[in-house]
Amino acid sequence: MCMNCGCGKPDDRHGSPDNITREDLERAARANGQSLDQAVRNIDQTTRSMHGAAGSSSASSGSMQG
Per-domain residue ranges for the chain? 1-51
Record the pTM: 0.69
pLDDT at 24 over 90: yes
What is the pLDDT at residue 3? 87
**Cα-based distances in Å from 38 to 15, 41, 48, 50, 58:** 28, 5, 15, 18, 25
Question: Are 25 and 36 spatial neighbours (Cβ–Cβ below 8 Å)?
Answer: yes
For residue 18, give the DSSP letter: T
Contact in structure between 2 and 9 (CB atoms under 8 Å): yes
pLDDT digits (tens, 9 = 90+) for 27-39: 999 999 999 999 9
DSSP state of 20: -
SS3 call for 52: helix
